[in-house]
Amino acid sequence: MYSHLPATLLHLLLVLPSLGPNGAVSALPSLNFSGVSIPSLWNGDRRDAGWSSLFPHAASSHGFRVKRGSSASGSSSFEYDQNGTSFLWVIQDTYEGQSFFDRFGFYSDLDPTHYVNSSTAFSSGLAYVTNDNKVIMKGDNTTWLPQGTDRSSVRVSSYAQYNTGLFILDVDRAPWGCGVWPAFWTLGGGTWPYTGEIDIVEGVHDNQHNQVTWHTGENCSLTPSANFTGTVVQTNGQDNLDCYGNSNNNAGCGITEWSRASYGPTFDAQGGGVFAMKWDDEGIAVWSFYRAAVPADVVSGQPDPSGWPEPVAALDPAGCDPITNFVNHSIVFDITFCGDWAGNSYATSGCPGTCAERLMDPSNFVNASWIINSLKVYKKQIISGRVSGAISQLSSPSLSVLLGSTLLFAGLSLLGLVL
């Protein structure tokens, strides 16, 4: 009975006051009208004078959160950065199943551990994918060695490089044991440590607490007052706040998690879990979740870190620029035996004998395995855009219902008031 044109014009008239000088819309939270999910064109500061005044039931039932939100259909979640710009975390890369090793190179240079190349790793059963798509990487646990011989193991690095992102690793098991030093980390391209290193999962021996560490060039330090639940690592009673990789025996700046379920036998006994790292211009933060505590948004593939608890570790930009100090990072998995950390700390670890003696017996390394379900890397997708872009996000049915019902009635009401 009524043309859609007046409602369309009214919609645009309502939107124009919210535009910036360049015609940009600063945020697009979602609303639901009669089951149709649409993006709102009002920014957070205008929400009370905008949609909520016209449609109080819609506003009250879905709400507007300043730092995060979700679409009415629950299909996605959005956050706001420190500048008030809204964004989503959308999938960039997925590493899992049969194609996992296609996207990683095998490191086989000299090291205290005998890292093997890809052909040796696959032929000797140190790297493979199971029929149910579990990715396995392990140290040799079948070969007896003469004392002084390095045990074979695996180290892989992603071909892709990253400069920010949300990294979510889901594992059933992570390596541990006396003489074992595993890590899941990222490493910058170029000269170490000036392009940075981020150790997301790392530990030695039978430790039960994961350690997160950053190694950088000069002028980067850990801010102990930042919001995180872990404990700053110390050397000789002093907090390791200087992240410079070439100082303090390459210790970097580190934080130890408080949870016993973050590393070692307790983590594996819980069925593994998820490690997550968020890296953007607001800093670098790390979380760990044992299996029963993994957030639902992670399970659904729609991660929303703003709704998670405080991170276990965080590097604040006030002390370290997360963009300039960390450049072109590849993702690395490894299992080291003895080496600088596990070897040098062995005598005080409570483990039997010496690390060199430990390496001889393969049965000592039955727990030195990664069992990986997936590694997913998400990137920020800015939601803000111009009006034309915002309207184009609506499907034709959604636009028809929107303009033919809800906004039409709102338009008539407003026109009645004006006339």
Same domain, 370 and 388: no
- What is the token pair recorded at 143? 């070969």
* Per-residue DSSP letter, 150: P
CA dist 301 and 304 (Å) reads 10
CA dist 367 and 173 (Å) reads 9
Same domain, 167 and 292: yes
Residue with more model confidence, 218 or 387: 218
CA dist 87 and 23 (Å) reads 18
Angle, alpha carbons 323-328-329 (nearest 5°): 95
CA 300 to chain centre: 15
The beta-strand segments (E) located in 126-243 are 127-129, 135-138, 152-153, 155-158, 165-173, 180-188, 197-202, 211-215, 231-232, 234-235, 238-239
Same domain, 64 and 106: no
In this prediction, residue 384 carries a pLDDT of 66
Same domain, 301 and 321: yes
Angle, alpha carbons 273-279-280 (nearest 5°): 150
In this prediction, residue 343 carries a pLDDT of 66
Q: Which pLDDT band, with edges at 50, 70 and 90, does 341 fall under?
A: confident
- Output the average pLDDT for the chain: 80
Same domain, 373 and 407: no
Q: Which pLDDT band, with edges at 50, 70 and 90, does 73 fall under?
A: very low
* Per-residue DSSP letter, 193: T
Q: What is the DSSP string of 236-304?
A: TTEE--B-BTTSGGGT-EEEE-S-GGGSHHHHHHTT-EEEEEEEETTEEEEEEEEGGG--HHHHTT---
In this prediction, residue 396 carries a pLDDT of 44
- Please provide the distance, in angstroms rounded to a whole number, between the alpha carbons at the two ends of the chain: 21
Same domain, 165 and 266: yes
pLDDT (tens digit per residue) in 43-53 = 333 333 333 32
User: Rounded mean pLDDT of 385-404?
Assistant: 42
Same domain, 121 and 73: no
Instruction: Please state, as a whole number, how many other Cβ atoms lie within 10 Å of the Cβ of residue 395.
Output: 12
User: Rounded mean pLDDT of 326-346?
Assistant: 89
For the chain, percent of residues with pLDDT exceeding 90: 64
Nearest-CA neighbor of 182 among 216, 205, 163, 149? 205
Q: Is the pLDDT of residue 67 over 60?
A: no
Query: How many distinct structural domains can be found in the chain?
Result: 2
**CB distance 137 to 127 below 8 Å:** yes
pTM of the model: 0.76
In this prediction, residue 189 carries a pLDDT of 97
Q: Is the pLDDT of residue 40 over 90?
A: no
* Per-residue DSSP letter, 412: H
Instruction: Write the CATH number for 117.
Output: 2.60.120.200
Nearest-CA neighbor of 406 among 54, 70, 59? 54
Q: Which pLDDT band, with edges at 50, 70 and 90, does 81 fall under?
A: confident
Q: List, in order, residues 6 or more apart from 225 with CB less than 8 Å away.
A: none
Same domain, 340 and 394: no
Same domain, 61 and 101: no
Q: Is the pLDDT of residue 131 over 50?
A: yes
Q: Which pLDDT band, with edges at 50, 70 and 90, does 144 fall under?
A: very high
Catalytic residues: 197, 202
Same domain, 61 and 197: no
Q: What domain range includes position 105?
A: 91-380
Same domain, 48 and 102: no
pLDDT (tens digit per residue) in 169-190 = 999 999 999 999 999 999 999 9
pLDDT (tens digit per residue) in 253-312 = 999 999 988 999 999 999 999 999 999 999 999 999 999 999 999 999 999 999 999 999
Burial class (CB in 10 A: 0-12, 13-18, 19+), 65: middle
CA dist 324 and 222 (Å) reads 15
Residue with more model confidence, 52 or 92: 92
Crossing angle for the helix pair 407-418 and 4-15, nearest 10 degrees?
A: 80
* β-bridge mates for residue 36, sequence order: 33
Q: How far is CA 99 from CA 136, 376, 402, in A?
A: 13, 13, 43
**CB distance 331 to 157 below 8 Å:** yes
Give the least confident one: 29-33, 127-131, 232-236, 377-381.
29-33
- The conformational region for residue 142 under phi > 0 = left, psi -120 to 50 = alpha, else beta, is alpha
> 271-308 burial by CB neighbour count: b if 16+ within 10 A, else e?
ebbbbbbbbbeebbbbbbbbbeebbebbeeebbbbbeb
For the chain, percent of residues with pLDDT exceeding 70: 73
Same domain, 405 and 276: no
**CB distance 383 to 27 below 8 Å:** yes
Give the least confident one: 284-288, 338-342, 374-378, 387-391.
387-391
pLDDT (tens digit per residue) in 101-124 = 999 999 998 777 899 999 999 999
